[in-house]
Structure formats: structure tokens, C-alpha cells
Amino acid sequence: MNWEAVGAVGEILGALAVLVTLLYLAIQVRQNTAAVTTATYESVITGFNDVNVIIVGSSEVASILHRGTTDPSSLNDAEAVQYAFLLRCWSNQWLKLLRMHQGGALSTAEWRPFAEEAAQAFDTPGGHPLQE
């Protein structure tokens, strides 16, 4: 057997091993990226749900949200603080989604409904509670 032939076969096998390794790593990176994106998106949805459960679980909090959104002047000082923090909780979730969109983890089509929801919340009489 010719040592040059053995060397050539070794180089081909080495090149194939590198190619297989690169393909494997590419698949792993893609799967990891998808897993991280999913986990982040799930944390955002959980954040929204946590706030929504508080509102649904209390007619008093639901009333504060409704009055704060439509007529913030009807809130007493304590209710105004509660309303401001409810809006802040939602804002934090929208901000997280915006950062995901800006970082490429959330497409424009996925971001748009959340952006419209945020715009709708802020485009109310009580949409800027900290400025009053």
C-alpha cells in the first residue's frame, strides 16, 4: 500500500469529519436559538398572564383599571398608584417584546399585535399616569 494513498484517504476522512462536525454544530446552534427564543417568549406571556390574573381575581382591581383607563381623575391617591403599577407591569412586558423584536428574535408580524395593544393602552385618558 502506498503511503501517499493512505495520506490522501486520511485527509478525505479528516475533511468529512470536519464537515459532519460543522453540520452538527449548526443544527445545535439553531435548536438552542429556538429554545432560548421560546423560553423568552413564554416568560413574556407568563408576565402578561400574571397581571391579568390579578385583574380578573379582584373586582376592585378591575374597577381601578377601568376607571384609571377611562377617567384617571376618579382615582384616589392609592388607586392611582395601583393603576400606575398595573400599567407599568404591562409596559415591562411590551418593552421585553420590543427588545426581542429589535434583536431579531421576534418578527415584525409577531411584534405588530403587541405594539398595537401597547399603543391602544397608552392612547387612553389614563395612558400616561406618571405625567399627571
For 51-100, how does the pLDDT look when each residue is reduced to its tens digit (9 = 90+)?
899 999 999 999 999 999 999 999 999 999 999 999 999 999 999 999 98
Give the C-alpha separation, 67 to 83, whole Å.
9
All 3 cell numbers of residue 30?
Answer: 439553531
All 3 cell numbers of residue 49?
Answer: 398572564
Q: Give 132's pLDDT tier (boundaries 50, 70, 90).
A: very low
Is residue 114 included in any domain, yes or no? yes
Please write the tens of the pLDDT for every residue from 93-108.
999 999 989 988 888 9
- Output the CA angle 8-10-11, nearest 5 degrees: 65
Q: Could you say which DSSP state residue 71 is in?
A: -
- Output the CA angle 64-66-69, nearest 5 degrees: 100
Is residue 95 included in any domain, yes or no? yes
Q: Are 122 and 128 in contact (CB under 8 A)?
A: yes
Is residue 32 included in any domain, yes or no? no
Mean of pLDDT over the chain: 90
Q: Could you say which DSSP state residue 132 is in?
A: -
Is residue 56 included in any domain, yes or no? yes
Is residue 27 included in any domain, yes or no? no
Residue 56: domain span: 37-131
* Sign, Cα dihedral of 54, 57, 60, 66: positive
Number of domains observed in the structure of the chain:
1
**pLDDT value at residue 130:** 56
Q: Tell me the HSE value of 55 on the side-chain side, using a 13 A CA sphere.
A: 20
